[in-house]
Structure 1
Amino acid sequence: MKLPIYGPRLRRIARNHFGWRSLRPGQFKPMRAVLRRKDALVVLPTGAGKSAIYQIPAVLLPGPTVVVSPLLALQQDQIAALNEHGDPKTRAVRVSSAETPAQQREAIAAIRNGEAEFLFITPEQLSDPERLAEVRALRPGLVAVDEAHCISAWGHDFRPDYLALGDMIKQIGRPPILALTATASPPVREDIIARLRLNKPEIHVSGLDRRNLFLEVAYCPDDNYRWRKLTTMLDQERRPGIIYVATRRAAEELAERLTDAGYPASFYHGGMAAGLREERHQAFSDDKVDIMVATSAFGMGIDKPNIRWVAHVALPDSPDSYFQEIGRAGRDGEPARALLLWRSEDEAIQRFFQGGSPSEEELQELAGELHKGPASKTALQKTTGLGPRKLGQYLNLLEQVGAVRPGAGHQLTVPARAPLPAAAAAAALAEYERQQTVVKSRTDMMRAFAQSRQCRTETLLAYFGEDLRKPCGHCDNCADGTAHEIAAAEAEGPFPVHSQVRHGEWGTGMVMNYEEERMTVLFDSVGYKTLSVPVVVEQNLLVPA
């Protein structure tokens, strides 16, 4: 079947089936890739219309579209939006733990009978062999993986259940895959491609510059100064807004302090009961809570357009987390503010969270269980006593060192010539340490962003591999003229931005940006490094790769 790939047809479908008068920048090229049956990875900011990239082409593609998404609340919002038109070509159904067995059967039947186009499903459902066979029988024409950064160990919302997705998609007939995320730095993108087994994917990164979002950073010598800066912002700005903190205890204490000071606030963190979390989430969505003090657990699924500001009262663990969190402000296109209030002590908290190496003994025991024969994750949990999250992370490490691989029927097997348990555990631990070196470098990059005198947006986008080419005009460094002075004084560096270079000790890397005789390079083995340009040139530290 020859599929139309030109703009007028896509725009007509957008208008007639979805009520959208036009396509947004960054949407058309990925849609064209979908219609050409090519794998694609799309990085677009929150609120830029990522869902439309699979929804509009799905009307033209033969076969239903399977949408894998990690959060039921997020799925429900998307399903409601699709079904409000009453159009069978855009009708969506869901198979999840929220539906009864009868409802699940009805959903599959609706897709089979052509009464619905979109099947929303979680990775946990696909891990059931019977469910996987049902989905395969539907002969899907496309699989869209939403929040694709969840599959990456580098991603701040890592989900172990996502790790088997590449194998699951292969088992349902390997239709084209569209991976979607609002934030993915180069290491995360490479991880997504490898783990989903994308085949020569088109990579589309665009629109990361949120022009309605003013970026501001202030160093706070003590907590009293930080409190005064925070309350000054609360007095100046409209609400609602989100305040991100580093720990659960900090969320509770700051919410109480704000409330006592006349700024009514609620708190949210991962240690709360699920029912209470859902209640707080809904209250914020319904404008019943103006100020939410939260850890990073208050994240995906917040589809609220009128958030006027996002404040951080601690240094985030990485630019990935920071970019995702500030992206929740100003989704309606109206002016919004992102304020980062940081102290040097914030880094110690992040180092604490990054501590705690895997147990080599537990890794060896797990590898030993795998050598006894094919086993499911459920069986391994029983025999090893490991929790689901730790088991997923351990299996991830063992898979990276060639000690385990997914088999038929969701059984895990040991490949031929795999290392023996002791060697596998040692190699897995070494891989973990390598990854921690990269993780530490990302925290270093967050501090560099906070201290930078360069355009904030330029610095942030360079981390994600996008070149802004000129100061943004909507950050504090641009507002006070500092960014423009630095941009005018900067000379061309010895290597083009985003070119590949090689270091004698650290191996290959990518040049990310230059600032005041310093250059940042992302190395495959050790993460982000900031180097002196004169030293690099004088000592010939880098050569083109």
Structure 2
Amino acid sequence: MKHPLHAPRLRLAARQRFGWRTLRPHQLTAMRAVMRRRDALVVLPTGAGKSAVYQIPATLLRGPTVVISPLLALQQDQISALNDRGHPDLRAVRVSSAETPNQQAAALEDIRQGRARFLFITPEQLSSPDRLAEVRALRPALVAVDEAHCISAWGHDFRPDYLALGHLIRGLGRPPVVALTATASPPVRDDILDRLGLDDPEIIISGLDRPNLFLEVAHCPTEEYRWRRLVALLESEQRPGIIYAPTRRAAEELAGRLDAAGFPAEFYHGGMPAGARETLHERFLDDQVPIMVATSAFGMGIDKPNIRWVAHVALPDSPDSYLQEIGRAGRDGEPARALLLWRAEDIGLQRFFTGGLPDAKELTELAALLATGPTTRTALREQTGLSARKLGQLLALLEQVGACTRRGTKLSVGRYAPAPADAARAAVAEAERQQAVQRSRTDMMRAFAETRACRGQTLLAYFGEHMSTVCEHCDSCHAGSSSAETIADGPFPVHSTVRHAEWGAGMVLGYEEDRMTVLFDDVGYKTLSVPVVSEQGLLAVEAG
């Protein structure tokens, strides 16, 4: 059933409350899904107006909108942007660790009395049974999950409370959910849909290509060469800019070396005190930090339009991370630059970060505790001595193999759950599968770095998008090494399901020259030769 009246109402609300004369087609499609009370997954590139997808419909819905967002700085930016408009329908409040108990109570009262429409909150707050009950009593009309890739085991944050978010939303009475992210590869999208329990969602994925962003990669035979290429960038480009370093120590040392060389720089990483990070974040937004050297902890929520370049001084762990991080440049639509300076040694560092497998004994003991009866994460932490992060990861694995179920904030095992030892073995096997996929993501990042073909096509193929012509905004295109001819149709349709005798089932993501990219469920991404696949019959269409 169509609802043609939604579009005029949405356009009117956008004009009256936000001053926007037009809405982009993908925004309007997502907003109409929200107005129909339908779940939605919205994947839009940086700067494409994701926040508007929930903000405009929220002013037309009966009841408040709960916005679940991972970072306080990101929340504060969005709250300020709403409140600065001075419209009563756009007032936003927050409940977080940054507010006193009295301030938290006042925020909830403002929502109850209709003095505010948006409640910003973190998953950690909702994990408290009392807080969950308070927010449920507000009868929210919509839940917006910002930076939704954080809910995925393949995301960039992997916070335990994000993994439980689907259960927490059900605890709110299961209002409609709109999940928003700037980049989500097929396994991340599947994970978001599964973990949030989205019901027959509208899936809106807009083109991720950023024509104003020039993609450039340089292989660096030595560290000194990498330094010289970085200096050349700093001498030729305007500021501000961001340099992503692989470790906290590397960020600190590089910032010091840049300062000594006459390039004013600051460093930022997750090991710094929260207050120091917040101050740096604000100074960067206020153009007081011309060069920020940071780990991947910096960037989510950096809504700064004039970042002229983003440089990586090591190979990122995946194209997912890379696209997120370079997306912070050129949000004003003006030309910007993304420079990746990599060495083969970077691969070993990413392998180290992947970590080892979980301890089977700890998994067995945890599964046994769950089998004793309903419990809570707080009680499990006290009994096991595990950190919140590690406990969350182990519980997620046990849940994936059917050895843990959640009802609100209570954890238990189902009637047909495997025995603790069997559950541990299955969980370790699942962890091995996840590590194989993660290693394949790093392999795809290296393939992107090494290719002489169009980088835009290569990057978008990873995300399951097909670019019919070369991008013309990468170093390969400018050097003339990328071909203007691409394979539109290979031996199997894009997005079809195929099966390999050894690797199992997979999805065809795209073709590039004489190669094809397939995402296999059990082993991750593989790049295969199209002639070899055809000649040897390596793949077959998956039945059903």
TM-score by length of 1: 0.97
Shift of 1:507: 1.7
Shift of 1:193: 0.3
**What is the rounded CA distance, in whole Å, between the counterparts of 2:178 and 2:5 in structure 1?**
16
Change beyond 3 A, Cα 1:5–1:381: farther
Partner of 2:389: 389
Partner of 1:520: 517
Counting matched residue pairs gives: 541
Q: Could you tell me which amino acid in structure 2 is paired with residue 530 of structure 1?
A: T
**What is the rounded CA distance, in whole Å, between the counterparts of 1:228 and 1:163 in structure 2?**
42
Alignment pair present for 1:472 and 2:471: yes
Shift of 1:275: 2.1
**What is the rounded CA distance, in whole Å, between the counterparts of 2:354 and 2:128 in structure 1?**
33
Partner of 2:452: 453
Alignment pair present for 1:262 and 2:262: yes
**What is the rounded CA distance, in whole Å, between the counterparts of 1:260 and 1:403 in structure 2?**
55
Partner of 2:228: 228
Question: Which runs of 5 or more residues in structure 1 are unaligned?
Answer: none
Is this contact kept in 2: 1:367–1:424, CA < 8 A? yes
Is this contact kept in 1: 2:363–2:394, CA < 8 A? yes
Shift of 1:56: 0.5
Is this contact kept in 1: 2:73–2:278, CA < 8 A? no
Change beyond 3 A, Cα 1:265–1:114: same
Change beyond 3 A, Cα 1:543–1:374: same
Partner of 1:10: 10
CA displacement, residues 391-443 of structure 1 (integer Å, 9 cap, x when unaligned): 110000000011111124x1111111211111111111111001000000000
Partner of 2:502: 505
Partner of 2:304: 304
**What is the rounded CA distance, in whole Å, between the counterparts of 2:263 and 2:84 in structure 1?**
37
Q: Secondary structure of the residue that 2:507 maps to in structure 1?
A: strand
**What is the rounded CA distance, in whole Å, between the counterparts of 1:198 and 1:492 in structure 2?**
32
Q: Secondary structure of the residue that 2:398 maps to in structure 1?
A: helix
Question: Which runs of 5 or more residues in structure 2 are unaligned?
Answer: none
Is this contact kept in 1: 2:92–2:120, CA < 8 A? yes
Is this contact kept in 1: 2:486–2:512, CA < 8 A? no
Shift of 1:488: 2.2
Is this contact kept in 2: 1:5–1:35, CA < 8 A? no
Matches within 5 A, 1:345-494: 345-408=345-408, 410-483=409-482, 486-488=483-485, 490=487, 492-494=489-491
**What is the rounded CA distance, in whole Å, between the counterparts of 1:514 and 1:136 in structure 2?**
47
Shift of 1:64: 1.2
**What is the rounded CA distance, in whole Å, between the counterparts of 1:317 and 1:274 in structure 2?**
25
CA RMSD of aligned residues (A): 1.5
Q: Secondary structure of the residue that 1:26 maps to in structure 2?
A: helix
Q: Give the percent of matched residue pairs that are identical in Structure 1 and Structure 2.
A: 71
**What is the rounded CA distance, in whole Å, between the counterparts of 1:310 and 1:366 in structure 2?**
43
Shift of 1:24: 3.1
Q: Secondary structure of the residue that 1:529 maps to in structure 2?
A: strand
Q: Could you tell me which amino acid in structure 2 is paired with residue 403 of structure 1?
A: A
**What is the rounded CA distance, in whole Å, between the counterparts of 1:490 and 1:166 in structure 2?**
40
Q: Could you tell me which amino acid in structure 2 is paired with residue 520 of structure 1?
A: T
Deviation larger for 163-172 or 523-532: 163-172
Is this contact kept in 2: 1:31–1:54, CA < 8 A? yes
**What is the rounded CA distance, in whole Å, between the counterparts of 2:57 and 2:398 in structure 1?**
38
CA displacement, residues 316-360 of structure 1 (integer Å, 9 cap, x when unaligned): 000000000000001111111000011111101101111222111
Q: Could you tell me which amino acid in structure 1 is paired with residue 519 of structure 2?
A: L
Q: Could you tell me which amino acid in structure 2 is paired with residue 315 of structure 1?
A: L
Is this contact kept in 2: 1:68–1:122, CA < 8 A? yes
Is this contact kept in 2: 1:403–1:418, CA < 8 A? yes
Q: Could you tell me which amino acid in structure 2 is paired with residue 26 of structure 1?
A: H
Partner of 1:534: 531
Matches within 5 A, 1:95-134: 95-134=95-134
Partner of 2:209: 209
Q: Could you tell me which amino acid in structure 1 is paired with residue 381 of structure 2?
A: Q
Q: Secondary structure of the residue that 1:357 maps to in structure 2?
A: coil
Q: Secondary structure of the residue that 1:215 maps to in structure 2?
A: strand
**What is the rounded CA distance, in whole Å, between the counterparts of 1:478 and 1:25 in structure 2?**
30
Shift of 1:279: 2.1
Q: Could you tell me which amino acid in structure 2 is paired with residue 514 of structure 1?
A: Y
Q: Could you tell me which amino acid in structure 2 is paired with residue 225 of structure 1?
A: Y
**What is the rounded CA distance, in whole Å, between the counterparts of 2:453 and 2:325 in structure 1?**
21
Partner of 1:173: 173
CA displacement, residues 270-294 of structure 1 (integer Å, 9 cap, x when unaligned): 1222222222222212211111111
**What is the rounded CA distance, in whole Å, between the counterparts of 1:387 and 1:492 in structure 2?**
49
Is this contact kept in 2: 1:110–1:116, CA < 8 A? yes
**What is the rounded CA distance, in whole Å, between the counterparts of 1:537 and 1:355 in structure 2?**
37
Is this contact kept in 2: 1:3–1:60, CA < 8 A? no
Q: Secondary structure of the residue that 1:184 maps to in structure 2?
A: coil
Q: Could you tell me which amino acid in structure 2 is paired with residue 365 of structure 1?
A: E
Change beyond 3 A, Cα 1:489–1:294: closer
Is this contact kept in 2: 1:26–1:207, CA < 8 A? no
**What is the rounded CA distance, in whole Å, between the counterparts of 2:499 and 2:81 in structure 1?**
49
Is this contact kept in 2: 1:25–1:207, CA < 8 A? no
Shift of 1:490: 4.8
CA displacement, residues 450-490 of structure 1 (integer Å, 9 cap, x when unaligned): 1112211111111112222211111111112222xx24275
Matches within 5 A, 1:319-358: 319-358=319-358
**What is the rounded CA distance, in whole Å, between the counterparts of 1:172 and 1:295 in structure 2?**
35
Q: Secondary structure of the residue that 2:26 maps to in structure 1?
A: coil
Change beyond 3 A, Cα 1:185–1:489: closer
Partner of 2:41: 41
**What is the rounded CA distance, in whole Å, between the counterparts of 1:6 and 1:97 in structure 2?**
37
Q: Could you tell me which amino acid in structure 1 is paired with residue 392 of structure 2?
A: G
TM-score by length of 2: 0.97
CA displacement, residues 49-96 of structure 1 (integer Å, 9 cap, x when unaligned): 100000101111121111111111111111111111222211111111
Is this contact kept in 1: 2:468–2:488, CA < 8 A? no
Is this contact kept in 1: 2:317–2:445, CA < 8 A? yes
Q: Could you tell me which amino acid in structure 2 is paired with residue 505 of structure 1?
A: E
**What is the rounded CA distance, in whole Å, between the counterparts of 1:168 and 1:296 in structure 2?**
27
Deviation larger for 161-170 or 142-151: 161-170
Partner of 2:27: 27
**What is the rounded CA distance, in whole Å, between the counterparts of 1:25 and 1:217 in structure 2?**
33
Q: Secondary structure of the residue that 1:531 maps to in structure 2?
A: strand
Q: Could you tell me which amino acid in structure 1 is paired with residue 77 of structure 2?
A: D
**What is the rounded CA distance, in whole Å, between the counterparts of 1:468 and 1:25 in structure 2?**
20
Is this contact kept in 2: 1:67–1:121, CA < 8 A? yes
Partner of 2:86: 86
**What is the rounded CA distance, in whole Å, between the counterparts of 1:333 and 1:25 in structure 2?**
19
Q: Secondary structure of the residue that 1:381 maps to in structure 2?
A: helix
Is this contact kept in 1: 2:469–2:485, CA < 8 A? no
CA displacement, residues 239-294 of structure 1 (integer Å, 9 cap, x when unaligned): 00001111111111111111111112111111222222222222212211111111
Q: Could you tell me which amino acid in structure 1 is paired with residue 521 of structure 2?
A: D
Matches within 5 A, 1:264-283: 264-283=264-283
Q: Secondary structure of the residue that 2:133 maps to in structure 1?
A: helix
Q: Could you tell me which amino acid in structure 2 is paired with residue 426 of structure 1?
A: R
Q: Could you tell me which amino acid in structure 1 is paired with residue 538 of structure 2?
A: L
